[in-house]
């Protein structure tokens, strides 16, 4: 799946410019119950500003408590190393950035360099639940040896026994063996019969 299928469009985002005071940025985040928001100017993505960075910066620079939040602007505090991704890149790449870069979102920038939107943790988790077909049909978890033909063999058993496959996900448990977990979501009135056939074919059912 491409990033543009699940990103939040720029037009629907609340952003701030680099010259806004950190007090104003904090007010905007409080009003909208956000922990962070993008920093953009015109069509250009610049970075992100978060409550955590504001609080840290303020207390590190105002030990005498004489300065105000209005004394500093966003560009003094914002994070500029937010990962950027193209709308036509794969969702997995955005998920990798979110996992490894400790960011609230990944910025989406098109081929012209224009800010198009963001990909959030929520969007990735939602797509993951859709992929696994949660709350749809019945779950069938199967452990199989990672050899050619196992997936087609399992699919054939299910379809030949009146099962309609909703989703099919192969999970690598990163073990030292060649075992894989296959998670199938299916609609069927013959669930027990399918499980029996799958076991009879040599698969281990969770």
* pLDDT by position in tens, the chain (length 206): 899 999 999 999 999 999 999 999 999 999 999 999 999 999 999 999 999 999 999 888 887 667 888 889 999 999 999 999 999 999 999 999 999 999 999 999 999 999 999 999 999 988 877 766 667 789 999 988 766 788 899 999 999 999 999 888 887 756 555 678 888 999 999 999 999 999 999 999 98
**Which residue range forms the structural domain that includes residue 141?**
133-205
Q: What is the DSSP string of 108-135?
A: EE-TTS-EEEEEEHHHHHHHHHHHHTTT
Question: In residues, how long is the chain?
Answer: 206
Q: Are residues 36 and 86 in the same domain?
A: yes
Q: Does residue 148 share a domain with residue 188?
A: yes
pLDDT given for residue 183 in this prediction: 87
Same domain for 122 and 148, yes or no, is no
**Domain end marker among 100, 128, 156:** 128
Look at residues 81, 102, 128 and tell me which one is the last residue of a structural domain: 128
Q: Which residues pair with 145 in a beta bridge?
A: 179
Question: What's the pLDDT score for residue 174?
Answer: 60
Question: In terms of domains, do 33 and 124 share one?
Answer: yes
Q: Which residues contact 10 (CB under 8 A, 6 or more apart)?
A: 40, 115, 116, 117
Find how far residue 45's CA is from the centre of its chain: 20
Question: For position 91, what pLDDT does the model report?
Answer: 92
Instruction: Answer yes or no: do 58 and 147 share one domain.
Output: no
Same domain, 69 and 146: no
Q: What confidence score (pLDDT) does residue 147 get? A: 64
- Side by side, the strands of the sheet bearing 138-145 are 163-171, 179-188, 138-145, 204-205
């Amino acid at each position: 799946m491409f990033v543009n299928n699940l990103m939040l469009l720029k037009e629907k985002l609340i952003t701030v410019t680099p010259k806004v005071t950190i007090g104003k940025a904090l007010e905007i985040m409080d009003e909208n119950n956000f922990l962070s928001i993008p920093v953009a100017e015109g069509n250009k993505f610049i970075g992100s500003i978060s409550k955590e960075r504001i609080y840290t910066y303020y207390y590190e620079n105002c030990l005498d408590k004489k300065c105000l939040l209005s004394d500093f602007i966003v560009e003094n505090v914002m994070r500029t190393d937010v990962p950027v991704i193209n709308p036509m890149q794969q969702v997995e790449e955005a998920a990798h950035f979110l996992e490894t870069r400790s960011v609230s979102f990944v910025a989406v920038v098109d081929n012209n360099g224009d800010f198009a939107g963001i990909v959030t943790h929520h969007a990735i988790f939602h797509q993951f639940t859709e992929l696994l077909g949660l709350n749809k049909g019945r779950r069938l978890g199967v452990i199989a040896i990672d050899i050619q033909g196992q997936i087609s063999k399992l699919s054939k058993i299910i379809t030949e026994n009146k099962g309609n496959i909703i989703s099919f996900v192969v999970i690598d448990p990163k073990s030292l063996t060649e075992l894989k977990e296959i998670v199938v979501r299916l609609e069927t009135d013959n669930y027990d019969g399918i499980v029996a056939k799958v076991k009879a074919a040599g698969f281990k059912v969770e």
